[in-house]
Structure 1
Amino acid sequence: MITRRRRPIHATMLAGGLVAGLVTPWTAAVAGAGVGAADGRPLPRVASATLCGDQYVLALADPEQIVALSPHATKPWLSLLADQAATYPRLRPSAEGYLHAGVDMVITNAWTDHATAALLERFGVTVARIPLEDDIDRIAALTRDIGRALGHPARGDALADTLLARIAAARAAAPGRDRVALYLRPGGGTAAEGAYVATLMDAVGLRNQATEAGLSGWSSWSLEQVIADPPDLLVTSFFDSPHAGMGQAFGDHPAFTTRAATIDRIEVPGAAWVCGGWILAEAVEALTEGLEALNAREAHP
């Protein structure tokens, strides 16, 4: 198994000297929420209701802007920036909790907490909804928009530019070499065309076994399929979770571990692609470096 963990990007280290990209409108709420240190207006006090929101808030906001993070923000197998999250309060998402904390903005998922979001907006709180997205250009545009909404457009541009540059480099190098690969989580989950994990697998030059089997988006794969028709490469994530072996389809199942021992495998930290945000820059880097190490090993067995 090739496991790769790297220090995550820190936006403030990347903010200078980068070329600004084209900003695509996100939502009317966020487009109208842009404030910043440059214009002298106060920066918004922000809370995150989700893991994806945590990654954006921690990377882009000033510490004094951060009112609260999600309940899972400090779990290292889920949050890329878990260490940074440890110093901030964590709230269970609720309109009452956020209003009591005096937030100006809440970042959440576009597909959850609709009632909470609507109530917050009634009380004048800006709600920034992050969509489930697999298109890299749109993810980059979203990242710029969030940076602008938090009052730090240069930081948003930095993360977006890094994401685009790493994807472009992966496509140019194509270290996957047309291997048939299967993405797996301990519960048997996989990703086919239409899921951002599959987008990154395509970017590095891998053939996606789940896509070729006719699946789309987030789907599932059986233990029997792995044993009967193993891929050239397993791309796995979340097997380091403390819950990975508890009643799961794969986890520590002896049939899987025996078969997997005969297949090349790259473990991408699950926290690097727990959502379709700027953190995918870390995921594609981990995947690229894992493939490069595998190529080097094959060249010099």
Structure 2
Amino acid sequence: MLRLARYIPIRGSLIGLTLGVTAVGACSAQQSEPTTGTQIGSTSLCADSYLIALAPERIGALSWQAGSELSTADDAMAQHPRLWASREILVGTNMALVTGPGDPSFGREDMLDLTWGEDFETVRMNATVLSEQFGVDISNFESALASLSSLPRPDPQPRVLYLSRSGGSAGPGTFVDAVITAAGGLNVNTTPGWHTPTIEHTLQFDPDLIVTSFFGSHYAGVSDRAVRHSALRHYLADRPRVEIPGKLWPCAGPGLIEATRQLNTAITAL
């Protein structure tokens, strides 16, 4: 059972910042002045990724998942107190908070919702809102995001297929598809959304490069078709392949920038 690693209660008010599906514009109007200088805590892995990338010096606490294989927190960051969306824990916390999609608000009125999405524009929007609300400097992030347009792009575009350890794949409308496009590739999976094709369907794809992720043993599960099924193992072994660390994209967050760079390097090396 996962337990709270370290929690320091601090009596005071709470500003909730939630990664959700609510439109940003209406919520931004509720907060007219940026909350600069205050520490910020997180209760979710996805929210962690934004704080670690955009405001590492402002981190007051990270989620209970910080330090796991899916976390970008280094050893020092993983020593921060841990939080999760529990009324008992959050009621006495006076740091601003980034909470995960679907987490309850516990009746808090001071709340800013970031948009949950599947593309770079969503990441840009969330970063902008975080900057405006908490006075975070995102100039380095903006430069890094803009630099993706200058990556080398082979012509014709290499055909790319994404596969997870379970044999899952991603088509249009997913952040994996957005990364493939930004990296200069062409997604051979044209079925929209996240899904798990049949093994027969997967074997019919003829990509120039396979992108895998979450293939480490720490992601083992009962549905590990891509590592257990002999036909899929041979399929993977017979084609160029690049493994993108799962911690870069537990959601559509700032890690998509580095995922794009790594994929582009593999594409240009074909």
Q: TM-score range by the shorter chain?
A: 0.7 to 0.9
Q: Is the 8 A contact 2:164 2:215 kept in 1?
A: yes
Q: Is the 8 A contact 1:144 1:160 kept in 2?
A: no
Deviations 1:160-183 (A, max 9, x none): 2211222x123xx22474222211
Deviations 1:51-89 (A, max 9, x none): 1210122233354x433211212113x122343431112
Residue 98 (structure 2) aligned to one of 100, 104, 107: 107
Q: Is the 8 A contact 1:108 1:130 kept in 2?
A: no
Partner residue in 2 for 1:290: 266
Partner residue in 2 for 1:219: 195
Distance, in Å, in 2 between the alignment partners of 1:218 and 1:265 is: 20
Shift of 1:242: 0.8
Distance, in Å, in 1 between the alignment partners of 2:88 and 2:133 is: 23
Distance, in Å, in 2 between the alignment partners of 1:265 and 1:26 is: 43
Residue 256 (structure 1) aligned to one of 232, 236, 252: 232
Scaled by the length of structure 2, what TM-score is found?
Answer: 0.80
1:160 correspondence with 2:160: no
Q: Is the 8 A contact 2:158 2:267 kept in 1?
A: no
CA, structure 1 residues 224+198, in 2 after alignment: closer, same or farther (shift >3 Å)? same
Q: Is the 8 A contact 1:108 1:128 kept in 2?
A: no
Distance, in Å, in 2 between the alignment partners of 1:52 and 1:162 is: 19
Distance, in Å, in 2 between the alignment partners of 1:199 and 1:30 is: 31
CA, structure 1 residues 234+244, in 2 after alignment: closer, same or farther (shift >3 Å)? farther
Distance, in Å, in 2 between the alignment partners of 1:30 and 1:84 is: 34
The SS at the match of 1:226 is helix
Residue 108 (structure 2) aligned to one of 97, 121, 132: 121
Indicate the RMSD between aligned Cα atoms, in angstroms. 2.5
Q: Is the 8 A contact 1:184 1:236 kept in 2?
A: yes
- Aligned-pair identity in percent equals 29
> Structure 1: which 5+ residue stretches go unaligned?
1-23, 37-42, 295-301
> Structure 2: which 5+ residue stretches go unaligned?
1-23
Deviations 1:177-225 (A, max 9, x none): 42222111112221111111101211223221221xxx11222223222
Map 1:146-225; keep pairs closer than 5 Å.
Answer: 146-152=130-136, 154=137, 156-166=138-148, 168-170=149-151, 173-175=152-154, 177-211=156-190, 215-225=191-201
Map 1:1-301; keep pairs closer than 5 Å.
Answer: 25=25, 27-28=27-28, 31-32=31-32, 34-36=34-36, 43-61=37-55, 63=57, 65-76=58-69, 78-103=70-95, 105-110=96-101, 112-113=102-103, 116-117=104-105, 119-122=106-109, 126-152=110-136, 154=137, 156-166=138-148, 168-170=149-151, 173-175=152-154, 177-211=156-190, 215-244=191-220, 246-294=222-270
The SS at the match of 2:215 is coil
Q: Is the 8 A contact 2:115 2:125 kept in 1?
A: no
The SS at the match of 1:102 is coil
The SS at the match of 1:121 is coil
Q: Is the 8 A contact 1:204 1:288 kept in 2?
A: yes
Indicate the structure with greater helix content: 1
Partner residue in 2 for 1:297: none
What is the count of residue pairs matched by the alignment? 247
For residue 127 of structure 1, what is the amino acid of its counterpart? Answer: M
CA, structure 1 residues 241+95, in 2 after alignment: closer, same or farther (shift >3 Å)? farther
Distance, in Å, in 2 between the alignment partners of 1:134 and 1:176 is: 26
Shift of 1:150: 2.6
